[in-house]
Amino acid sequence: MLNMFTSAKRFLAEWGLRRRFASLNQTLGNDAPPIPYLATFEIPPEFFFPKDFKVKDCRGLLFCHATKGERINKLSSYWVDRESFNLFADRFNRKLNLPNPEFAGSTVDIKRREKAWWQPDHFSGREWILAVFALVGAGLGLRDYTAVLFAAPDVVLVYPDAGHANAVVGQDFTVPLTASSEVRFAPASVNFRSASIRLKSGGPAIAVSLNPQILPNLAAGQSQALTISGSAPQRTPTSLTPDVYDLIVTGDAKAGIFRKRRALPDTKRELWVWPAEPGAPHPTVAHAAANLCELNGVVYISKAYPQGLAAAFTLIAPVGRVKQMYISGASNSTQEPFRTDTDSASTLKNEYQTPPLDKFQLYRYSATILLTKEATQSECESLASNLTASLQSVILRACIGLQRVSASPEMSNTAG
């Protein structure tokens, strides 16, 4: 451990001396005076520098060092010039308790081993680090200042949420959109060529409005709100589900003066065009096992109903094949089942009132059909195609109920 400490101490001392000699050599390399002045003194073996001794206390002193040999120990001092040595030599000698110099003279020439510029002794580690950071900083600065010339037009279109837009058939709709510039230190200009909707299942594009159509000066990091508006087209005939359209916006952007205009990235969003009245397609088969058919269905509600709706589920089945039908869905009233049997078919109906419904809501329900014998997948699919759901206003349902009672006295209430 002591040897390691001694070696480290010697390395640091030698490294410091090399730095001082390099500084001295740089001074000697100048053609202009003064020429450094050297004075050596003989010192005792126990010599050491006092703690309060500082080179700056002796004006004109560059540095000094002690050299210990086998028989003689010497102290060498380097001065700016002979005049400085003559003026401050007495103070220097008193502080270090030195005798008269055994030798004094001017340094007139120096030779040293030449080293390549990239070798460690030429530049310190700190200088290398500073140089690297200076180059990186200069590069970044040039990039920022030249962004107005070469910046890429990075402009993106973003919708406010990840869902789909909604519209009611025949009614006007608006969809918010945001154009955001990701260009640094340079403005961008954006031109929107078109905005349209196209049915996902195929069909012609339908133009819609986009406002504004031109963003002449979209600042770096800035966002601009846009509005897409139009009228929801007529729905596909016989469709009971919302028609799904792709909302498409095209355009291009430019930033750097020497950059070409670039097309905006494709940004699509679904637009659902809902029926004006609740739409209820036939349910689908979820499970067929034993003597049960389990069906799942959904009703599409395009506007709000604070009072709820009167729901009616009607199943027409072969005579003697269905024992009972159960409907499971959110309700605010007791479910009332009805049944009518004729020679050709059995009609089962379940009625109840739903809770308040929101605009553009999916009202989900499930139907469990109990059969007289084991159910098959094909039979469950046939029953699903014969099950219809109807959601109407409470007043309209009451009027229809009166007509049903007067027209069908044979319909029996099977509750309980």
- Dihedral (CA of 327, 332, 334, 336) sign: negative
Give the Å distances, CA to CA, from 42 to 21, 73, 100: 21, 6, 9
Does position 329 have pLDDT exceeding 70, yes or no?
Answer: yes
pLDDT in the model for residue 278: 92
String of DSSP letters for 61-121: EEEEEEEE-SS-EEEEEEES-HHHHHHHHHHHHHHHT--S-SEEEE----------TTSTT
For the ranges 24-38, 255-269, 314-328, 366-380, the lowest mean pLDDT is seen at: 24-38
pLDDT in the model for residue 201: 87
Helix (H) or strand (E) holding 200: none
For the ranges 80-89, 169-178, 277-286, 403-412, the lowest mean pLDDT is seen at: 403-412
Helix (H) or strand (E) holding 283: none
CA–CA gap between residue 114 and residue 246 (Å, rounded): 74
Looking at every residue in the chain, the average pLDDT score rounds to: 83
Q: Pull the structure tokens for residue 379.
A: 């039979």
Mean pLDDT over 247-265 rounds to 90
Does position 334 have pLDDT exceeding 70, yes or no?
Answer: yes
Does position 31 have pLDDT exceeding 50, yes or no?
Answer: no
pLDDT in the model for residue 11: 45
Mean pLDDT over 294-321 rounds to 94
Cis peptide before 212 (omega within 30 of 0): yes
Does position 161 have pLDDT exceeding 50, yes or no?
Answer: yes
pLDDT in tens, 355-409: 999 999 999 999 999 999 999 999 999 999 999 999 988 765 555 554 554 544 4
Mean pLDDT over 63-81 rounds to 90
Give the confidence band of 4 by pLDDT, cuts at 50, 70, 90. very low
pLDDT in the model for residue 215: 93
Does position 8 have pLDDT exceeding 50, yes or no?
Answer: no
Domains and CATH numbers, the chain: 11-106 (3.30.70), 155-274 (2.60.40.10), 284-413 (2.60.40)
For the ranges 103-117, 221-235, 316-330, 379-393, the lowest mean pLDDT is seen at: 103-117
Give the confidence band of 293 by pLDDT, cuts at 50, 70, 90. very high
